[in-house]
Amino acid sequence: MLPTGATIAWYITGRFRCYTLAPTTLEKIKVDFKPEVRVVDGRPFVSPFNIQLIKYQKTLNSRLYNLRHGLTLDGKVLPLPLYTGAEGDDSLMRRNTGSSITSWNHLQQQVPPYRFPSMLKRASDAVKQLIQMGHRLFGAIESEVNAKQEVLEQSQVLRLSAFAIELQQEAIQIAQLGKATLEESKKMAQERYEHYHNLYDENLSAQEISALAFKTSSEVVKAAAAPFYAAGAALEVVPNIFGLAVGGGKYAAPIKNAAIISELISDGLALTADRLQDSADYARRRQEWEIEYKQAQSEINIIERQLQEQELLIKSANTALREAQAQQAAARELYEFMTTGFLIVPTYQWLMGRLAALYAPAYDAVLSLCLMAEASWRYEVGDYQRRSFIKTTAWNDSYRGLLAGESLQLDLLQMENAWLQRNERRMNIKKTISLSELLTENELKNQIEKKQMVSFTLNSKLFDTNYPGHYLRQIKRISVSITLSNWNVTLIPSTEISAVLTQTGSSTLTSADIEGVNWLYDPNRKAGSSKNIVNNLRAQQQIALSSLNEDDGSAAKENWLYTLMFDDDRYLPFEGTGTISTWTLEFPDKQVINKIFKDSPYLWRLKDINIHVHYTAMDGGKQFAKAVKDKVDK
């Protein structure tokens, strides 16, 4: 306990806090060295937490997690592949010459949320519009006059002319600011010129002149001391002959005094040299001042010429502004003339360029839509080895991309034909997985208690145990059932829950490849080959659960979402993703855990959570089934 009036200064060194007591309190207090000093109320004498710093740390950790898991900074799916290499020179040359690689890479195109028939219809409609645009472009090339398009383009010119006027006004402001800067520079150079010119004219200040005078006087006084030293030496040589003592003469005195006189002469010479050095320094300094003020004068002359140039720039910018305003007035007059019923064609080549500029981005948009349709085709058919249907060789700059729409239309027809041949009905299977068996009941409850979420994995063995010869397992529907034990419905305030089921990753074996099975069974993903495996298609999908009984994310009775939305254009939640997957089941509302899953803080009603997986699969044959079964039995 600190005595009254005690003062403590503390600082941190390493992991300990060192305290320095004022000298007046050393006799009143005795504190053993500990990592912390406790005051009267028992709280540690430490600095408070930096809340803002902790917030920054959490933000950085969240963003690092998102980037390391293929997400954007805000947690969304990254639209670009993570490990795609840079585009080579050969591919750029092929693109410029109208040819391109047509092999398919599923990482290049994200799967859209719409089914293939819907995407095919939209892509076909877009291709038809692109074909019509190509016909209009060709018609504009053949035709010399297109009144509506001329009026439209002239209105665009009229609107763009306002930007030209704003640019010229900004150019005038920039030139005026440049002039102000030069004037400030001239002012600084003028001040420097006056300063150094005054120093040059003054040369030596009054203090410096006085210092030189005192130095000269010092030399004179010191030189005057030499005769006195000589006289003193002569007197010391004379012996003492008075009284009874004889002698007393100092015969070495002349020699010593000669040495002293030599030193005085040397000092005089050194003082003279210093005086000459000072004079030379002052002369050199004056020369430097002369150079400085002459250079300042030169800078003033240069700045004056730059100011003249800046005046010309301002004048030129004002002229350009008036020109832009005149062009705007002319464009307005031409627009008014073109809208009064007269059709003229002075801008034929310009009009063709405008149409081509619209046609090119339209082709890019339609091509992207066709590639999205192909991504849906592969997502539903499960064929990722076939070469791309949509070819990027249709556009030819030499012919302004004419007939590019017809080429895309042919590609869509071929893709539709392949769809009709490959879209066979697969085996529909339902499998129920108990999380209490997958994780054990205690581990399940511990995860919910500590993290408010459950993480689990549906691996290949779960499905190969029942059907060892299947591949291309794709989810059609996922639902969750929560089993409670020793409870009465009337004792629970509500049977509604709040939970979020998230698919964090998935894998799909696209062909009967035992090497792919080996890759899936290896936890380190080093065995086998992933050539015929696609991962994380439409990842990070979620559904919200509201009831205990086989909830699939709908807001009504069982199977409502499945039956009502089966014919919808969009995919159902998790539809088409691989059954070999990783999941998290999160309970964001703590009250659901405490009121529904528990009888008391230490007694759980929760018995089990069942995951109902409805999926489709294809049979890989007996030989493949035997190889997989051997893998399961190991």
pLDDT tens, position by position, 207-262? 877 877 777 777 777 667 667 766 666 666 666 555 555 555 566 666 766 777 77
350/439 Cα distance (integer angstroms)? 70
Say whether pLDDT at 579 is over 60. yes
Contacts of 454 (CB under 8 A, 6+ apart): 435, 439, 444, 447, 448, 584, 585, 586, 609
Q: Are 471 and 511 in contact (CB under 8 A)?
A: yes
Q: What is the CATH number of domain 157-241+249-338?
A: 1.10.287
| The two three-digit tokens of residue 240, written as one number | 């003492």
**Tell me, what's the pLDDT at 145?**
60
pTM score of the predicted model = 0.54
3-state helix, strand, coil in the chain (%, to 5): 55, 15, 30
**Tell me, what's the pLDDT at 397?**
83
402/392 Cα distance (integer angstroms)? 14
**Tell me, what's the pLDDT at 8?**
43
pLDDT tens digits, 450-503: 888 899 999 999 999 989 989 999 999 999 988 887 655 445 555 678 889 999
pLDDT tens digits, 60-115: 998 888 888 777 676 655 545 444 445 555 544 544 444 443 444 544 568 888 99
572, 137, 571, 126: which is closest to 390 by C-alpha? 126
Find where tokens 């320095």 sit.
20
274/430 Cα distance (integer angstroms)? 108
164/320 Cα distance (integer angstroms)? 10
**Tell me, what's the pLDDT at 170?**
86
**Tell me, what's the pLDDT at 124?**
94
Report which of residues 598 and 348 the model is more confident about. Answer: 598
**Tell me, what's the pLDDT at 407?**
93
Mean model confidence pLDDT for the chain? 77
**Tell me, what's the pLDDT at 243?**
55
**Tell me, what's the pLDDT at 254?**
67
